[in-house]
Amino acid sequence: MRYLTAGESHGPELTAIVDGVPSQFPIDQDGLNHQLYRRQQGYGRGYRMKIESDQATITSGVRFGKTLGTPITLHITNRDWKNWQEKMAVFGEPPENLAEVTKPRPGHADLAGALKYDHKDIRNVLERSSARNTATLVACGAVARQILEQFGIRVFGHVVRIGSVVADIPDMPFVTFMERAEASEVRCVDPTAEQAMIAQIEQAKNDGDTLGGTFEIIATGLPIGLGSYAQPDQRLDGRLAGALMGFQAIKGVEIGMGFEVAERPGSQVHDEIFYQEGMYQRRTNGAGGIEGGISNGQPIVIRAAMKPIPTLYKPLQSVDMNTKEPYLASIERSDTCAVPAAAVVGEAVVCWTLAQAFLEKFAGDSFGEVKRNYDSYMAYLQSR
Ligand SMILES: Cc1cc2nc3c(=O)[nH]c(=O)nc-3n(C[C@H](O)[C@H](O)[C@H](O)COP(=O)(O)O)c2cc1C
Ligand SMILES: C=C(O[C@@H]1CC(C(=O)O)=C[C@@H](OP(=O)(O)O)[C@H]1O)C(=O)O
């Protein structure tokens, strides 16, 4: 399974082509749109999220609700396009009053992108480097999620930290945990931390500043055996870390115990193996569900660190690329904090990566064939 995405932040639409989804798979369009809706929520986002109401329209690869086994095209309209038609016209001359963006924002793609692609107007960079594209990642991830759900695999994300506020993670049933995060304005399961996070976002907004944070993604119900140690690019841990660092502003990824493994002796890191009730069992999950680049049947647990939003309403020092004179960086309409949204994008890219590895292991042209391969492997595992 693979995808390509396209589209500018203020262009007419975003597009994704998803290839390799087996045939005869039922696609739930409301399910896709629900994931897009979730990405738009979260305290700290800017005015753009009030303009948009993301919906995925499918124009190929699905007939009467079921996949054909051929490429699926997904479109997401940019409602804001109507305000940008002249400035973002595909053909014709630039309008006379066009204000070019020439003062790169530290932390954004502006300077490196303008120099690399020889753009004088930084808008030509920011339109595509913008995290608006994460809507397409969520749409692709939503297709992947629907495949995983058919096999009892669930993927869920929640916010652990925003700025200096860290959530206390309570021990509670998984379903309650998910419900709590879903109901929280910052996707945080700790109500005390949630209030402190909101206060800190407000403070940053008033100060013209921005905030980052960390989120955790948990995937349950995975079979043993996704990914491989055979080649570096087949390792599931590397693929998941790459997927998370493959979208805007993610600067660090930890799996399981993460960086703590460096501090502890082996006896306090590795998960002992037991054989009980006819199966192999673990009592701990320091490995975060992956050993040797392969899923080991335990929940996969990954955390990602998001840097603060680069556009500051109280801008940082920069340089005008036309005059080389010192200037404050340009201000583009912006979010103050997008960690809750990033957690939803994180879920989506994890769904995608897991579904991709799943379909490599249980490959089939039709959904029925995938299911037969899965059932037969699960029966085989019972015999080991
Ligand atoms: C969901 C989400 C929303 C974002 N919103 C903004 C924003 O409003 N303004 C901004 O300057 N950066 C925003 N960013 C971050 C930039 O897109 C990102 O920092 C930039 O593209 C540079 O890429 P890098 O951080 O990976 O180096 C957002 C990121 C995500 C994931
Ligand atoms: C549009 C989205 O996020 C955008 C990501 C973003 C950036 O620089 O990454 C800048 C902002 O764009 P705008 O200036 O149009 O408000 C965000 O709103 C979205 O998440 O759908």
CA-nearest residue, atom 7 of ligand 2: 130
> Which residue, among 77, 73, 57, has the nearest Cα to 14 in the 3D structure?
77
Average pLDDT (252-275) is: 98
Distance 242 CA to ligand 1 centre (A): 17
> Which residue, among 346, 341, 344, 339, has the nearest Cα to 164 in the 3D structure?
339
Rounded-to-integer distance, Cα 289 and Cα 245, Å: 19
Angle between helices 339-361 and 29-40 (to 10 degrees): 140
Q: Which residues of 173-198 are buried (b: 16+ CB within 10 A; e: fewer)?
A: eeeebbebbeebebbbbbeebbebbb
If phi > 0 it is left, if psi is from -120 to 50 it is alpha, else beta; for residue 105 that is: beta
CA-nearest residue, atom 19 of ligand 2: 132
Averaged pLDDT score across all residues of the chain: 97
Looking at residue 78, what is its pLDDT?
98
Task: Report how far apart the first and last C-alpha atoms of the chain are (Å, whole number).
Answer: 30
> Which residue, among 4, 11, 23, has the nearest Cα to 73 in the 3D structure?
4
Q: Which residues of 24-47 are buried (b: 16+ CB within 10 A; e: fewer)?
A: bbebeeeebbebbebbbbbbbbbe
| pTM of this structure | 0.98
Longest dimension (CA), the chain: 75
Which residues does residue 58 pair with via DSSP β-bridges, in sequence order? 74
Rounded-to-integer distance, Cα 357 and Cα 1, Å: 9
CA-nearest residue, atom 14 of ligand 2: 333
Looking at residue 171, what is its pLDDT?
85
Distance 151 CA to ligand 2 centre (A): 34
Looking at residue 214, what is its pLDDT?
98
Rounded-to-integer distance, Cα 178 and Cα 146, Å: 17
Q: Letter for the amino acid at 22? A: P
Domains of the chain, each with CATH number or no CATH: 2-382 (3.60.150.10)
Place of tokens 């963006």: 101
- Asked whether 58 and 74 are in contact (CB, 8 A), the reply is yes
Pocket flag, ligand 1, residue 210 (CB < 6 Å): no
pLDDT in tens, 206-239: 999 999 999 999 999 999 999 999 999 999 999 9
Looking at residue 290, what is its pLDDT?
98
Q: Kindly state the DSSP code that residue 201 receives in the 8-state scheme.
A: H
Distance 80 CA to ligand 2 centre (A): 11
> Which residue, among 120, 114, 123, has the nearest Cα to 11 in the 3D structure?
123
pLDDT in tens, 100-158: 999 999 999 999 999 999 999 999 999 999 999 999 999 999 999 999 999 999 999 99
